[in-house]
């Protein structure tokens, strides 16, 4: 097995109760990237909850990053073909009936017969039910010979993530171009407010600000 492949570990750990604290399978800590650099020359596209984005990095004029901000109760799954620099990211809250259907367009777009596919799964907060996700994910990785190179799940913080279509790496986005203060990323939004934001299309930034104001009262 490839040294960076974690799917067999995840399969074993999914049988345990792993949703009580932050769960990570990584080869090294995720580097940072400032939001100003991310947005320089329109170098990133942003993905909302319940969206899928495809991107192929072909040259220096290509848009390079797909970014997901305020990731909390939702789930980010990326597939990257190292050989073609073809990236697909799916961000969702309710797990889909079929990942095959979700990523059908991506697999059709891959060129050539040989692929080197890597997956990253990021998101969720503590105590969320993951059991329905587990078996589907493992079967999906096996079916398409996808190596899991990063799992960053649960915890009590929001995540701001960018995936690089040139290198296949993930980055923590520094939203104000500085390192975060202790506790600054703590998720104060309830899952009920999160679901309401999806129904009303209220921005998560607005919901987050409302939650912080309530804590001050």
Structure confidence at residue 133 (pLDDT): 76
CA-to-CA distance for 200 and 89, rounded, in angstroms? 23
Length of the chain: 217
Helix (H, G, I), strand (E, B) or coil at 96: coil
- Per domain, the residue ranges of the chain are 7-186, 188-217
Q: What pLDDT, in 10s, does the model give residues 62-109?
A: 999 999 999 999 999 999 999 999 999 999 998 887 899 999 999 999
Q: At what angle do helices 204-216 and 191-200 cross, to 10 degrees?
A: 140
Average of per-residue pLDDT across 54-61 = 92
Mean pLDDT of the chain: 89
Residue 201 pLDDT grade (very low, low, confident, very high; cuts 50, 70, 90): low
Read off the pLDDT of residues 147-164 as tens digits, 9 standing for 90 and up: 999 999 999 999 999 999
Distance of CA 63 to the CA centre of its chain: 18
| CATH match of 7-186 with 3.30.1330.200 | yes
Pair 119, 78: CB distance under 8 Å:
yes
Report the C-alpha gap between 12 and 170 in whole angstroms: 24
112, 61 contact by CB (below 8 A): no
pLDDT at 210: 43
């Amino acid at each position: 097995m490839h040294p960076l492949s974690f799917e067999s570990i995840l399969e074993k750990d999914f049988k345990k109760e792993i949703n009580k604290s932050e769960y990570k399978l990584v080869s090294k800590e995720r580097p940072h990237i400032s939001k100003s650099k991310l947005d320089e020359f329109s170098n990133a596209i942003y993905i909302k909850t319940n969206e899928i984005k495809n991107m192929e990095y072909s040259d220096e004029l290509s848009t390079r990053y797909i970014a997901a901000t305020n990731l909390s109760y939702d789930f980010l799954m990326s597939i990257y073909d190292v050989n073609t620099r073809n990236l697909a990211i799916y961000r969702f809250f309710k797990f889909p009936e079929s990942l095959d259907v979700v990523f059908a367009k991506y697999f059709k777009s891959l060129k050539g017969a040989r692929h080197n596919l890597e997956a990253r799964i990021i998101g969720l907060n503590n105590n969320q039910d993951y059991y329905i996700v587990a078996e589907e994910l493992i079967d999906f990785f096996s079916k398409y010979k996808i190596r899991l190179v990063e799992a960053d799940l649960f915890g009590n913080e929001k995540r701001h993530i960018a995936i690089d279509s040139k290198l296949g790496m993930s980055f923590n986005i520094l939203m104000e171009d500085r390192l975060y203060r202790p506790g600054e990323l703590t998720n104060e939004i309830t899952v009920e407010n999160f679901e309401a934001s999806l129904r009303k299309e209220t921005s998560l930034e607005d919901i987050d600000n409302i939650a912080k104001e309530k804590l001050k009262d």
